[in-house]
Protein backbone atom coordinates (compact mmCIF):
# COMPACT_ATOMS: atom_id res chain seq x y z
CA UNK A 1 0.00 0.00 0.00
CA UNK A 2 1.41 3.42 -1.00
CA UNK A 3 0.89 5.83 1.89
CA UNK A 4 1.86 9.52 1.91
CA UNK A 5 1.80 12.23 4.52
CA UNK A 6 0.97 15.75 3.33
CA UNK A 7 2.13 17.84 6.31
CA UNK A 8 1.48 21.50 6.98
CA UNK A 9 -0.15 24.04 9.23
CA UNK A 10 -3.12 24.50 6.86
CA UNK A 11 -3.88 27.89 8.38
CA UNK A 12 -6.09 27.77 6.36
CA UNK A 13 -6.06 25.14 3.63
CA UNK A 14 -5.95 26.90 0.27
CA UNK A 15 -7.15 25.99 -3.19
CA UNK A 16 -3.50 25.18 -3.97
CA UNK A 17 -3.29 22.58 -1.19
CA UNK A 18 -6.63 21.15 -2.31
CA UNK A 19 -5.44 20.92 -5.92
CA UNK A 20 -2.23 19.10 -4.95
CA UNK A 21 -4.23 16.58 -2.90
CA UNK A 22 -6.74 15.92 -5.67
CA UNK A 23 -3.94 15.30 -8.15
CA UNK A 24 -1.92 13.18 -5.70
CA UNK A 25 -4.81 10.79 -5.11
CA UNK A 26 -3.94 9.08 -8.40
CA UNK A 27 -0.51 8.16 -7.01
CA UNK A 28 -1.28 6.95 -3.49
CA UNK A 29 -3.63 4.50 -1.85
CA UNK A 30 -3.95 6.69 1.26
CA UNK A 31 -2.92 10.24 2.00
CA UNK A 32 -2.75 11.56 5.54
CA UNK A 33 -3.21 15.31 5.71
CA UNK A 34 -1.29 16.05 8.88
CA UNK A 35 -1.41 19.27 10.82
CA UNK A 36 1.95 19.52 12.49
CA UNK A 37 2.00 21.37 15.77
CA UNK A 38 4.62 24.09 15.30
CA UNK A 39 5.12 26.24 18.38
CA UNK A 40 7.03 28.88 16.38
CA UNK A 41 4.07 29.63 14.08
CA UNK A 42 1.35 32.02 15.11
CA UNK A 43 -1.86 30.65 13.64
CA UNK A 44 -4.99 32.62 12.84
CA UNK A 45 -7.22 29.59 13.25
CA UNK A 46 -7.19 27.15 16.16
CA UNK A 47 -6.09 23.57 15.67
CA UNK A 48 -9.72 22.49 16.10
CA UNK A 49 -10.89 24.92 13.40
CA UNK A 50 -8.19 23.79 10.97
CA UNK A 51 -9.07 20.14 11.60
CA UNK A 52 -12.75 20.96 10.99
CA UNK A 53 -11.89 22.80 7.74
CA UNK A 54 -9.98 19.75 6.49
CA UNK A 55 -12.75 17.34 7.52
CA UNK A 56 -15.26 19.52 5.64
CA UNK A 57 -13.11 19.51 2.50
CA UNK A 58 -12.61 15.75 2.43
CA UNK A 59 -15.81 14.45 3.99
CA UNK A 60 -16.66 11.07 2.51
CA UNK A 61 -13.26 10.67 0.82
CA UNK A 62 -11.94 7.34 2.10
CA UNK A 63 -8.54 7.93 0.51
CA UNK A 64 -7.82 11.04 2.61
CA UNK A 65 -7.34 10.91 6.39
CA UNK A 66 -7.10 14.04 8.52
CA UNK A 67 -4.70 13.90 11.44
CA UNK A 68 -2.47 15.95 13.70
CA UNK A 69 0.95 15.24 15.12
CA UNK A 70 3.81 16.62 17.17
CA UNK A 71 7.52 16.14 16.69
CA UNK A 72 9.52 15.28 13.62
CA UNK A 73 7.50 14.69 10.49
CA UNK A 74 9.63 11.68 9.48
CA UNK A 75 9.03 10.05 12.86
CA UNK A 76 5.31 10.51 12.37
CA UNK A 77 5.66 8.88 8.93
CA UNK A 78 7.08 5.79 10.63
CA UNK A 79 4.17 5.80 13.09
CA UNK A 80 1.52 5.84 10.33
CA UNK A 81 3.62 3.62 8.00
CA UNK A 82 3.88 6.32 5.33
CA UNK A 83 6.68 5.77 2.84
CA UNK A 84 6.34 9.24 1.34
CA UNK A 85 6.16 12.88 2.40
CA UNK A 86 4.25 14.91 -0.15
CA UNK A 87 5.14 18.60 -0.54
CA UNK A 88 3.69 21.18 -2.90
CA UNK A 89 5.92 23.75 -4.58
CA UNK A 90 4.82 27.20 -5.76
CA UNK A 91 8.20 28.71 -6.57
CA UNK A 92 11.95 28.17 -6.66
CA UNK A 93 12.09 29.66 -3.15
CA UNK A 94 9.75 26.88 -1.94
CA UNK A 95 11.99 24.33 -3.65
CA UNK A 96 15.17 25.54 -1.95
CA UNK A 97 13.51 25.53 1.46
CA UNK A 98 11.85 22.13 0.99
CA UNK A 99 14.94 20.54 -0.57
CA UNK A 100 17.00 21.22 2.56
CA UNK A 101 14.34 19.71 4.82
CA UNK A 102 13.99 16.68 2.52
CA UNK A 103 17.74 16.04 2.60
CA UNK A 104 17.85 16.13 6.41
CA UNK A 105 14.73 13.95 6.62
CA UNK A 106 16.44 11.41 4.35
CA UNK A 107 19.39 11.24 6.74
CA UNK A 108 17.15 10.86 9.80
CA UNK A 109 14.79 8.23 8.32
CA UNK A 110 16.26 6.89 5.06
CA UNK A 111 13.24 4.77 4.15
CA UNK A 112 10.92 7.80 3.78
CA UNK A 113 11.08 9.61 0.44
CA UNK A 114 9.98 13.21 -0.08
CA UNK A 115 8.08 13.85 -3.30
CA UNK A 116 7.50 17.32 -4.68
CA UNK A 117 4.50 18.33 -6.76
CA UNK A 118 4.48 21.64 -8.57
CA UNK A 119 1.24 23.52 -8.03
CA UNK A 120 -1.03 24.34 -10.91
CA UNK A 121 -0.02 27.68 -12.46
CA UNK A 122 -3.33 29.29 -11.50
CA UNK A 123 -2.49 28.81 -7.81
CA UNK A 124 1.21 29.72 -7.74
CA UNK A 125 0.60 33.05 -5.99
CA UNK A 126 -1.83 31.66 -3.41
CA UNK A 127 -0.47 31.03 0.08
CA UNK A 128 -2.07 30.65 3.49
CA UNK A 129 -0.27 33.83 4.56
CA UNK A 130 -1.85 35.84 1.76
CA UNK A 131 -5.28 34.32 2.41
CA UNK A 132 -5.02 35.23 6.09
CA UNK A 133 -3.99 38.78 5.24
CA UNK A 134 -6.96 39.22 2.90
CA UNK A 135 -9.31 37.75 5.54
CA UNK A 136 -7.89 39.96 8.33
CA UNK A 137 -8.51 43.02 6.21
CA UNK A 138 -12.08 42.17 5.29
CA UNK A 139 -11.40 40.94 1.76
CA UNK A 140 -13.10 38.14 -0.13
CA UNK A 141 -11.11 34.90 0.11
CA UNK A 142 -13.65 32.68 -1.67
CA UNK A 143 -11.53 32.19 -4.80
CA UNK A 144 -8.49 31.11 -2.73
CA UNK A 145 -10.05 28.40 -0.57
CA UNK A 146 -11.69 25.07 -1.47
CA UNK A 147 -15.37 25.39 -2.43
CA UNK A 148 -16.69 23.43 0.59
CA UNK A 149 -15.25 26.16 2.87
CA UNK A 150 -16.86 29.16 1.17
CA UNK A 151 -19.07 30.82 3.75
CA UNK A 152 -17.47 28.82 6.60
CA UNK A 153 -14.13 30.59 6.90
Question: What positions carry a catalytic annotation?
Answer: 17, 41, 90, 128
Helix (H, G, I), strand (E, B) or coil at 64: strand
Report the alpha-carbon distance of residue 29 to residue 39 in Å, rounded: 31
**Residue 116 φ/ψ, nearest 5 degrees:** -105, 135
Nearest by Cα to 7 from 25, 34, 29: 34
Helix (H, G, I), strand (E, B) or coil at 4: strand
Amino acid sequence: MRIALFPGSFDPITIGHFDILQRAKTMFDRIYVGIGKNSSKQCMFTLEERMAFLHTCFEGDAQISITQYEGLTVNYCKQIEAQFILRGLRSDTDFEYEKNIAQINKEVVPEVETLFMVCSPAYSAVSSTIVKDIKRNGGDISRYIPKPLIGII
